[in-house]
Structure 1
């Protein structure tokens, strides 16, 4: 499958993975902006008539989308990754004290005020592949913590 913006994203991720961990401490707003792009997910949602506004309600709406991406084994992991980053973006923007943390090697997780780390990318991948856990459910658990 040839999606031009994915090539840019993949290239940027490969180059930025190692640098992301060190940049997170220096420029947390810049890292948050980079992680919030989620171009493939946003394009898929727009095609389905859904505007992603970085709100918890948009996570509920994503949970209701027909999972047509499961028909494309090349798209599924990329969409799942974007879903996880979008979930993390919503949590960081709406849950007090939540922030991005980049593990060495460039793996992003969301740290809650309690110190708990959420592997949002894994949750997004699971959601894209199986529908569970629902993104809104992961958000609700993070908001309660």
Structure 2
């Protein structure tokens, strides 16, 4: 059976290194945020923009408030965007970034990290990595996986 959630679990050692790199518990000199924490925060702010998705949601009466309820509302939209592959592509990226934003804000220990190829990954406290843009593309192009289901799986650990 194929795993519906693209990603993988890191080993404990790699997870500890990732936590240190992203500033999981360590602060920078003087007790302020470390450079890694500042980079992750900047990534989080940029990824949270999701302009095309926010436009679609607003025109459909869906409020994107960084909750699982907003993901559920997105899952229930009629997929008229699938008629235009270019819109579907951009919307998939935005949907994945919004999914990651909700997970980061709602699931303890979740943080952004870039893959070696530059793709944004959502890393859970367990070390499991979610390729949220791949998940978003699947949602935009085929309706699966549902965004709320991915969130619920991530929040269960």
Scaled by the length of structure 1, the TM-score of the pair is 0.81
Paired residue total: 123
Structure 2: tracts of 5 or more residues without a match: 1-34
Which residue of 118, 123, 145 maps to 2:130? 118
Any conservation in 2 of the 1:24–1:101 contact (CA below 8 Å)? no
Q: Aligned residue for 2:113? A: 101
Shift in Å at residue 106 of structure 1?
2.2
> Higher Cα Rg: structure 1 or 2?
2
Q: Distance in 2 between matches of 1:72 and 1:27?
A: 34
More helix by share: 1
Q: How has the CA–CA distance of structure 1 residues 29 and 72 changed in structure 2, closer, same or farther, with 3 Å as cutoff?
A: same
So what's the TM-score if we normalise by structure 2?
0.75
In the alignment, what sits opposite 2:65? 53
Asked whether 1:69 is paired with 2:81, we answer: yes
- Please identify runs of 4+ aligned residues in structure 1 that moved more than 4 A: 23-26
SS in structure 2 at match of 1:110: strand
